[in-house]
């Protein structure tokens, strides 16, 4: 006869909790039989009405306990529950003249409702108080001593069962809340990953587009054919960047190390930076090729965009990739810009080490990624 659990934060309730509560009302059949056996009169009529109102109030009280409490606390719902418990107690007492000791059945419903709806300490205190009061009443009223044994134990057992149900539902509620939080974190991480990928893609592509556009503008009055070639490259770069963005949004995008080496050659040449690049990438393990490709892309983008370098070199080994230049470096990137932050995230995922900062042997900037050998 325990009520359905309330749907508070951290607690899971039945969608049809009132049906679950109404099922337990069949125990009130003892009260109904006692009232019907009582001689007709005022107290019998009062008892029948009180019994019907008791059942309705109990179901309504369960419905109140099922309502979500947005603030996570008990007020004002706790006040409603206290009022509901007092109404149940009053309706039980109104049955006393005609139903006699059978009203003790109602105390089981009251105790279970208190344990489920009130704060745990208050609910247990109410249940204990009711159990003690029932035991005292049985001992005080002589007619009840032989026919009412076990009601106090029934109150205790109902309170204990309800307490167990409440704890189980609270644990389940906390588990669901934790799962929702993990899902939200996963969504946030995925958004961050996509944002980082889009930054890397557009940052590189738009930088090259800007450099080639400037070069084409300078060539318009000098070499028209070469300017047209640069404009054709701009169109191709724009289409490739658009395709990369679409593929990234669909989580289908991957980059190749040879492709990034070729793209770095074109970007550095367009920026009038003399470059030394590896001719092949066959010695790099497949697992690290994508990381090395992102490293080259990010470093070359920063060289073209920020460094004002005249010379750059890409050094590629099976367990490391290093890009150095002779420019002035980039304070924003060295301080942990968005590009390096995304690159560091990728390196951490593979247990690699990222080193970025000013060169120690000569002026310039260095980006190096080392993987476990």
Task: Provide the 10 A C-beta neighbour count for residue 133.
Answer: 14
CA–CA dist 332, 298 (Å, integer): 13
Q: How confident is the model at residue 321 (pLDDT cuts 50, 70, 90)?
A: very high
Return all residues near 11 (Cβ < 8 A) that are at least 6 apart: 5, 166, 169, 170, 173
Q: How far apart are CA 261 and CA 313, in angstroms?
A: 11
- The SS3 assignment for 11 reads coil
Alpha-carbon distance of 336 to 282, in angstroms, equals: 31
- Mean pLDDT for 145-161 is 78
Give the separation between CA 328 and CA 358, rounded to whole angstroms.
9
Q: Is the pTM of this model over 0.75?
A: no
pLDDT for residue 197: 66
CA pair distance 155, 124, nearest whole angstrom: 11
Given CA atoms 63, 64, 67, 72 in this order, what sign does their dihedral have? Answer: negative
Phi, psi of 253, rounded to the nearest 5 degrees: -85, 140
Among 27-41, 107-121, 228-242, which is the least confidently predicted range?
A: 228-242
Query: 317 — phi, psi (to 5°)?
Result: -130, 165
pLDDT at 8: 42
* Neighbouring residues of 143: CB distance < 8 A, sequence distance ≥ 6: 100, 101
The region of weakest confidence among 116-125, 134-143, 230-239, 329-338 is 329-338
Round to whole Å and give the CA distance between 145 and 122: 29
In angstroms, the CA 2 to CA 62 distance is 9
pLDDT tens, residue by residue, 267-283: 888 888 899 999 877 77
Cα(295)–Cα(369) distance, integer angstroms: 7
pLDDT at residue 1 in the model: 54
Range 208-226 average pLDDT: 83
**CATH 3.30.565.10 domain residues, the chain:** 259-373
Q: Which range among 40-54, 158-172, 227-241 has the greatest average pLDDT?
A: 40-54
pLDDT-based confidence at residue 10 (cuts at 50, 70, 90): very low
Is 2 in a helix, a strand, or coil? coil
From CA 107, how far away is CA 99, in angstroms rounded?
Answer: 14
Residue 324, pLDDT score: 93
Q: Kindly indicate whether the domain formed by 259-373 is annotated with CATH number 3.30.565.10.
A: yes
Cβ neighbours of 182 (radius 10 Å): 10
- The answer to whether 55 and 28 have CB atoms below 8 angstroms apart is yes
pLDDT for res 66 = 59
pLDDT of 242 above 80 = no
Q: Is the pLDDT of residue 43 over 80?
A: yes
Q: Which two tokens stand for residue 144?
A: 């009840």
In the chain, % of residues over pLDDT 90: 10
Q: CA-CA distances (angstroms) from residue 16 to 12, 23, 55? A: 12, 11, 17
């Amino acid at each position: 006869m325990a009520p359905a659990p309330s749907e508070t934060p951290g607690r899971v309730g039945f969608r049809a909790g009132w049906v679950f509560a109404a099922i337990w009302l069949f125990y009130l059949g003892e009260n109904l039989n006692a009232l019907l056996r009582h001689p007709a009169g005022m107290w019998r009529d009062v008892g029948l009405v009180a019994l019907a109102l008791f059942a309705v109030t109990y179901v309504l009280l369960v419905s109140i306990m099922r309502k979500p409490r947005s603030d996570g606390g008990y007020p004002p719902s706790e006040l409603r529950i206290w009022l509901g418990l007092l109404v149940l107690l009053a309706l039980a007492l109104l049955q006393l003249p005609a139903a006699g000791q059978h009203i003790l059945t109602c105390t089981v419903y009251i105790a279970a409702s208190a344990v489920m709806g009130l704060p745990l300490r208050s609910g247990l205190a109410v249940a204990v108080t009711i159990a003690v009061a029932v035991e005292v009443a049985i001992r005080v009223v002589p007619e009840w001593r032989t026919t009412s044994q076990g009601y106090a134990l029934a109150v205790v057992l109902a309170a204990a069962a309800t307490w167990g149900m409440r704890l189980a539902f609270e644990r389940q509620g906390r588990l669901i809340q934790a799962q929702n939080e993990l899902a939200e974190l996963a969504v946030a991480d995925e958004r961050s990953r996509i944002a980082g990928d889009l930054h890397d893609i557009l940052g590189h592509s738009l930088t090259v587009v800007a450099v080639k556009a400037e070069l084409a503008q300078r060539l318009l009055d000098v070499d028209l054919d070469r300017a047209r070639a640069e404009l054709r490259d701009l169109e191709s770069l724009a289409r490739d960047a658009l395709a990369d963005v679409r593929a990234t949004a669909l989580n289908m995008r991957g980059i190749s190390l040879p492709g990034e080496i070729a793209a770095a050659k074109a970007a550095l040449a367009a920026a009038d930076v003399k470059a030394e690049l590896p001719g092949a990438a066959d010695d790099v393990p497949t697992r690290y090729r994508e990381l090395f490709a992102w490293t080259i892309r990010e470093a070359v983008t920063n060289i073209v965009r920020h460094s004002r370098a005249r010379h750059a070199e890409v050094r590629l080994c099976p367990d490391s990739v290093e890009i150095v230049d002779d420019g002035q470096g980039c304070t924003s990137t060295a301080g942990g810009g968005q590009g390096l932050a995304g690159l560091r995230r990728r390196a951490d995922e593979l247990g690699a080490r990222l080193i970025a900062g000013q060169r120690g042997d000569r002026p310039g900037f260095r980006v190096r990624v080392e993987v476990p050998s």
